[in-house]
Every structure is written in C-alpha cells, then in structure tokens.
Chain A
Amino acid sequence: MDYLLHISILAAIYSLAVLGQNYASGFTGLVSLNHGAFMGMGAYGLAYFMKTQGLSYPVSFFLAALITAIVAWIVSFPLLKLKDDAFVLVSFGFSFIGYNVFLNWQSVTNGAIGLKGIALPEFVKTWENPKLGFFIFILAVLLVSLWSLKKILDSSYGVIIRATRENQRVTQVSGHDADGYRRSVFVLSSVFASFAGSFLASHISAIDPLLFQYHLSVLLLVMAILGGLASLRGSVLGAVLLILLPEALRFLGLPSSVLAQCQQISYGMILILLMYWRPKGLLGEYSI
C-alpha cells in the first residue's frame, strides 16, 4: 500500500512538472531541456529556506518558486533569441550549469552530499497517514493547475501563444509582442517545475545534485513528447507511463545493478520510436 502511494505521489509530482514542460514545449514550441534544473531550484529553494532559514513551508515553497521564476526570466533573454536546434542545445547547456551550481554552491546546497530531513507540509501531519494527505494535496494542486492551464489556453492569450509557435513573424505583424508572450510562458512553466521540485524534495526528504542532472530534463521532455505535445491530458499520461516503466522493469526481475541502465535505454528507445513514427506523441496535437 505504501508502495502504491509512493508511486502515485511520484506520478502526480511528475505530471505537474510535465504540465509545465508541455506548456512551454507543446503549446508554445519552446523545446527546452532545462526544466530539470528548474525542478532542482524548487527543491533546493524549499530545503534551503525551511532548513537553513527556518521559514514555514508555504513561505519557503513560494519563495523557491519566485526565485525560479526570476532565474527563468533572466535565462529567457538569451534563450528566446534562438530557434529550434540552437534553442535546444543552449537550454541543454543551462541544465549543465544548473547542475554545476547545485554541486558547487557549498553554503546553500551543501555540495555533493546534498540536504537531508526536508519535512512534509505541517497541515498534512495531522492526518493519520501523512503521505496520503500529501498525495491528496498534490492531486488537488494538479487538478487546479490543469483547470487553470485549460482556462489560459482557451483565452485569447492562449490563442496568441500558439500563434507564436506557428509563426512568430506573423504574430508580430499582427501587433503582438511575441517575445513578451513567449517569455511569460517560459517563466510560468518554470514555476510549475519549481512546484514539482519542492514537492519532490519533501516527498523523498533528502536531495542531492545527481537527482537534478541533465537526465531529469531529458526525462521531462520525453514524458511530454510521449504523452503528446500540446495536450494537457497527454502530459499526465506521459508522466504516469514513464513513472510506471522502471517499476515494470523491476517486476520483470531485472537485477538492480542493471536497472538504471535498462531504464535509460528504454527512454532512449521510446524517444527514437516516437521520433520515427509519431513525433507528436500519443495524444499530441502538434509535432516539433
């Protein structure tokens, strides 16, 4: 039961992060490979403000998101000047820089050892099973996010950001500040990643830089593409499928020594097969 709960919490957390990834990559066409670093900022931000500064959970949670948003805003200036391949490669570079900062900013992140003992929020501790409360809370956040993203995407704002994906120049000619719209999307998507990172930190209670290496950014993008680019339901589907995959591999009886590699190899295969046959993903509406 605890195991099922653990998997469900992970699936919900990743769904939240993939929603952010898909909001940027699917709906707006910003194929970024640095959302893993944003998740790391959420996780480290929460841990730092709670553990080192002694602030309360909600305050730390939102401060972490605020800092992530500011960093995303700064990073977006060089990134949004680039397109397609160049955008992907430079954002990939930012995920490396993020990892290096987590690894080397000793006074905040405690280097390679990382931070331990990150608590669950206070209000779920009164529950009989705090983890169950935590799961329901994340689920609620996920549903609210889905609903508000749907509202955003159905609004005129949502129409314009999809227009910048299809043709930036035409959008600009029609009098919209395309870069401004894209920047706002990038920042909002980083906030989703930060939320997911904070939740992940309090779920697993100990974090270290290896968790937020470039693999995580790749995983988020693979989840978004697998579920379907520009599809909200697809984001959740992709996250759930790829969270279940390593568990399925474990049930197949693979020894744990090769589990990590087999997991990565299956991600690579999924990526190739999708790119070959269905670049828009299972439920996707848009192809990169």
Chain B
Amino acid sequence: MQILLNGLIVGSAYALMGVGFSLIYSTVRYFNLAYGVIAVWGVYVLLFLMERFAVPFPIAVFLGALVSIVFGLGSYVLLFRPMYRRKSSPLVIMVASFGLLIILQNFASLVWGDTTKSVSLSDQILKGYEFFGMFITANQLAIAVTAVLMVVLLELFLQKTKIGMAIRAIGDNQELTKVLGIKTETIILWVYVLGSFLSAVSASMYALEIGVKPTYGVFFVIKAFIAAIIGGLGSVRGTLLGGLILGIAENFGVYVFGGQWQDTVAFVLLAVVLLWKPEGVFSKRRLVSIE
C-alpha cells in the first residue's frame, strides 16, 4: 500500500507534466522536447529566489513559472512558429526542439552548476503524517494537494472559459476551428503559456522529492511524453491517468527490481503501450503514426 501511495504521489507530478505536454501536442501536432528543460529553468529561478531573497515557496513557484512561460513563448515565437510556417515536418521540428533541449540544458549547467540541488518547502524540516498505517511526508502532501488543485483549475479553465474551449476545439480539428473564425495563432500562444506553467509547477513539486539538476530536462520531458502517450495524446483525463499509471508502475518496478532500473521500467511500459494500443489506453483517436 505504501508503494501504491508513493506511486500515486510521484504519478500526480508526472500527470501534471504530461498534461501540459499533451495540450501543446494536441494544438501544434509535433513533440516539443524542450518542454522539460524549460521547467528546469523555472525550478532554478525558484531556488535562486528562495536562497537569495528568502521568497516563500509558493510565491517562488509562481515567479519561477513566469520565467518558464517566457522561455516557452520565446521558443515558440522564435523557433517553432517560423519552422511551422516553413512547413517543416513534425519530425524535423522535433529534432530541432531536441537541439534546443541540449542548448538550454548546458546553459543551465554553466549558470547553475552540475550538482543536484535540493528544494524544500521551508528552512525547518517538516514532520510527516501517518494515517491508515501509511506514511506521507509534508513534501509529498504538498505535491498531492497542488496536483489536485491544478487539475481542478485546469478542468474549469478548459470547460468554462472561451480560451479553454478554443484549445479543446483546436485539439479536435484545427481546420474547422479556423473556419469558425477563432484565431488559432493566439490560442496556440495561450497553450504555450498554460503548458509552460504546468510543466514548471509540476517540476517544482517533483523537485521537492528529487531536487534539481540540469539533466532533469531530459528526464522530465521523457516522463511527460510517456504519461501523455499512455493516456492518449491530446486527452487531458487520459494523460492524468497515464501519469498515475507511470508513477505506480515505476514504484512497483523499483520495489521488485531495484532503483537502478526505474527508467528501464518506464521505457518498457512505453514500448508495450505503443505496440499494444498505440492510440493510448484511454483515447479513441490515433495520433501517433504507426503501421
């Protein structure tokens, strides 16, 4: 049971990360691999603010996320949008985004150093809680609460606001949305804002568990796309479940095989899902190209 709980908590961070990734994919139809490293920059800014100016954690998360949003919008406006307009294929844009990932990751390593830095809620060590024979740390509780809060807000945003509805409409059918007179360009900018924000917040939460390091840019985006593909790309609820499944599978994998095989478990899960149900476990539309 404890493994299940740990899996759910890590999974909820993956789920948030995956949703942002999935939303971006569903509107622009290419994989943006720079997604994770943008979040890493947000976490570093958060850490810098907390250490230098003693900004409280929740405010620092938002300020860090603002930096991620600037990076995300910048990458879209300066790189991906021009490429998209030149009719570059999705694969070409993905490889370019991989180049951006390498650049931003190594800049992070130059600016902030290569060592793992730990992130904590406050200076004091907070006590954990015990209930029903399971143990949960204050950090884990913060992750779980934030994830639930973000998901509720996101659902409200996507269901109730005009921008949210337009985002879903583009995900369903881009041409038809254009025909209806919705400015897809503006909506895509909004998706980048939303996606970068989600990735930065989830990365900040996850950093409470594992700290932050430049190479986590790759790590985060891998978790995000695995969650998104398991859940079915473009499906918000599917991706949420996908993230939870990934978190639980990894924790059970670690329990059975040992911690060093965590990534291997994740990738085997990805390969199995792509072969067995390439459209994702919870989605009917097939977005990943496959024979």
Contact = CB atoms under 8 A, between A and B. Distances in A.
B290 A279 contact: no
Contacts of B102: 218, 264-265, 267-268, 271
Given A78-B271, A86-B278, A269 B99 contact: yes
**Interface size, A (range):** 35 or more
B260 A104 contact: yes
Interface stretch (A95-103, A129-137, A198-206): A95-103
Contact of A269 (B90, B103, B278): B103
Given A97-B267, A218-B98, A268-B100, A85 B289 contact: yes
B201 interface: no
A288 interface: yes
B99 A90 contact: no
A141 to B, nearest CB: 30
B31 A93 contact: no
Contacts, number: 127
A104 to B, nearest CB: 5
A265 B268 CA distance: 30
B92 A265 contact: no
A287 B101 CA distance: 21
B77 to A, nearest CB: 14
A271 B99 contact: yes
Contacts of A287: 89, 92
A275 B261 contact: no
A82 B102 CA distance: 25
A279 B92 contact: yes
Interface of B: 30-31, 79, 82-83, 86, 88-96, 98-103, 105-107, 109-110, 218, 222, 225, 260-261, 263-264, 266-268, 270-271, 274-275, 278, 288-291
Given A88-B95, A267-B99, 5 more contacts: A81-B290, A83-B289, A93-B271, A265-B102, A268-B100
28 contacts: A81-B275, A82-B274, A82-B288, A83-B291, A84-B91, A84-B289, A85-B90, A85-B288, A86-B290, A88-B91, A88-B95, A96-B264, A97-B263, A100-B263, A103-B260, A104-B260, A261-B106, A261-B109, A268-B101, A268-B106, A269-B99, A269-B103, A275-B95, A276-B82, A287-B89, A287-B92, A288-B92, A288-B95
Interface of A: 31, 78, 81-86, 88-90, 93-94, 96-97, 100, 103-104, 168, 214, 218, 225, 258, 261-262, 264-265, 267-272, 275-276, 279, 287-288
